[in-house]
Structure 1
């Protein structure tokens, strides 16, 4: 497969125009490194990271939730109703995003599922990169694979090169190239969004539309 061009990227992700020139070489290096090397794999990868990152423009998780959204999205074992009311965004008061992150990614759930054990780990290791890498365990594994000091400098995942490399590494680790070869687009989105196949991911319609466009362009 030929390297992705800036024109192709903008045909697939038109809202990426401000950052396309920076991301094209980063994406090409990341895809080459992790075997995203045919039309089906590249189309699936670009569609998914495009959806996850708001067309490559959002590299750190936005936790600006209202209380009711927090209660709907996360179980009471992750955030209590009192905390949701105290930390969520209401008229005249922004969300307390560090407190939200430390609630939903900390505590017993965060320690078991994400390796977040120290105070503040939830916010420190919130979702970053093109596929929202989340939690100390994932940061540590990516750091070892990519040779980047992500545990000490988690903000590196907000740089285009590392954001792209981490997404392609995560993709490869979870066998998504095989699913892309099979055209299992909903399962890819489900694994990215929910951690397992067989579910309808958030933004399923946009993921499919971006994938269809990518197939036409590549």
Structure 2
């Protein structure tokens, strides 16, 4: 955390200065393996003979991301834990790709070496080692084939030696004519060290390159969530989330969106993309009250079938998997085209509502830009709002229409929902997760499951998410 000088005593045991690389979700690795180590281990890994214990710190971190990421696919990896093909699959998977982008690795630059190219010369020994391994393999095969004639053995090994000599010569040329002319780090580091700089109000002292060639490497995509401009949410993002909205209206709600994004700490790029795409699909950022005016056929299809709308049979005016809410079928005229009657019935005795006669179903129908529904949701929003806004105490249970009439409140209600919603993102997850945590790493399908309770409108939600992702430099979902 940043602590201003004099603001507090940061030497207290429970307060410490930390690097920005300690942000949530980031991992820092000080890699000790050199170039030759990496080349040898990667070659051994491709042969499927490298043990986990021999992995470098970076390779171990990659293995963890690809095999043990929460909410990720359970990939049936065996030793070695991952190959280049499995790494490609991990990079195509949004949550693992994002975690890979959050690896900050301290490693010696490829642009640094001494004049003698010592670290690159270590690879020379690998060529010799590989040649000896191949020579032994040839001898073993000749022995199995009962070929013992010295001339034949010498001929086979001679071809190997000729090819090896060619490869080693090519490598020496590579070092002298491509690698050595490309080494600039040491020269720049020495020049920086010899030149002193003085800070000015407009120009801070720049950090010099390290003398040992080591630096922290971080993929730029991993930083996008912290570089979204002065505003967390912009006009361009709203237009990507819902292109059909009016800019004049967006200009009105943008201050509220940014006010509550900062207040509720909605700051990570992927979570913002999920948040806006879900709201864009649900309401298009409008806060009209839920429309419960239905003709009888649509009413039955929406509320009257087990398993949802897809199980309504238009030809028979019935349900393939059985009916729900019998009064919609036996007393149809009482509920069709009557929003109050319908709301009181279909939302009765759930979500904190009383029975049909209480009037709670219609009173606490969907409102707000993410359609808070049910007395419990209104009660929860009241609690969250009053806790965060002690100077503006409200009772949304007593005044539910505020979520439709006040732009400030119907925008805030979406944040309160987002930061308190929990559920199971897919059938393979046995425990409940927080929506806000899932949205930092999860897929559109998983986030939709928590927001919607199913997959209604999944394709549209994904299209909206991908449009925003392009603006924020995130990986789009296929």
TM-score (ref. length: structure 1): 0.84
- Output aligned runs, 1:79-158, within 5 Å: 79-88=327-336, 95-106=337-348, 111-117=349-355, 119-147=358-386, 148-158=394-404
Q: Could you say if the C-alpha distance between residues 105 and 79 of structure 1 is closer, same or farther in structure 2, counting changes exceeding 3 Å?
A: farther
- Cα gap change, 1:59 to 1:33, in 2 (>3 Å): farther
| Number of equivalences | 202
Measure the CA separation in 1 of the matches of 2:236 and 2:271.
19
Q: Tell me the distance in 2 between the aligned counterparts of 1:78 and 1:186.
A: 32
Q: Say if 1:128 and 1:79 are closer, same or farther in 2 by CA, change over 3 A.
A: farther
Alignment check: 8 A CA contact 2:290 2:366 kept: yes
Q: Cα deviations across residues 85-108 of structure 1 (Å, max 9, x unaligned)?
A: 4322xxxxxx111111111112xx
- Decide whether aligned partners of structure 1 residues 78 and 145 sit closer, same or farther in structure 2, where only a CA change above 3 A counts: farther
Q: Which runs of 5+ in 2 are unaligned?
A: 1-225, 305-323, 387-393, 422-433, 473-478
Q: CA deviation at 1:66?
A: 2.4
Distance 1:184 1:58 in 2: 26
Match of 1:160 in 2: 407
**Structure showing the higher strand proportion among its residues:** 2
- How has the CA–CA distance of structure 1 residues 6 and 32 changed in structure 2, closer, same or farther, with 3 Å as cutoff? same
- Structure 1 CA distance for aligned equivalents of residues 471 and 331 of structure 2: 46
| Contact 1:105 1:114 (8 Å CA) reproduced | no
Higher relative contact order (Cα pairs below 8 Å, separated by 6+ residues): 1
Q: In 1, Cα distance between the equivalents of 2:450 and 2:326? A: 21
- Within 2, Cα distance between the matches of 1:26 and 1:59? 17
1:91 matched residue in structure 2: none
- How far has the Cα of 1:20 moved from its partner? 0.4
Aligned-residue offset at 1:152? 1.4
Secondary structure of the corresponding residue to residue 244 of structure 2: helix
C-alpha distance in 1 between matches for 2:412 and 2:326:
30
2:468 corresponds to: 214
| Distance of 1:168 and 1:78 partners within structure 2 | 36
Larger Rg computed on CA atoms: 2
Tell me, yes or no, if structure 1 residue 193 matches structure 2 residue 452.
yes
Taking a change above 3 Å as real, the CA distance of residues 176 and 79 of structure 1, as seen in their structure-2 partners, is farther
Pair 131,85 (structure 1): closer, same or farther in 2 beyond 3 Å: same
Structure 1 residue ranges without an equivalent (≥5): 89-94
Cα distance in 2 between the residues matched to 1:12 and 1:133: 20
Shift of 1:28: 1.2
Match of 2:108?
none
**CA RMSD, aligned part only?**
2.0
Deviations 1:104-127 (A, max 9, x none): 112xxxx24333356211111100
**Structure (1/2) with the larger helix percentage:** 1
* Residue number among 292, 299, 319 corresponding to 1:63 in the alignment: 292
Paired with 1:78 and 1:129, the residues of 2 have a C-alpha distance of 30
Give the CA deviation at 1:187. Answer: 1.9
Q: CA deviation at 1:79?
A: 4.8
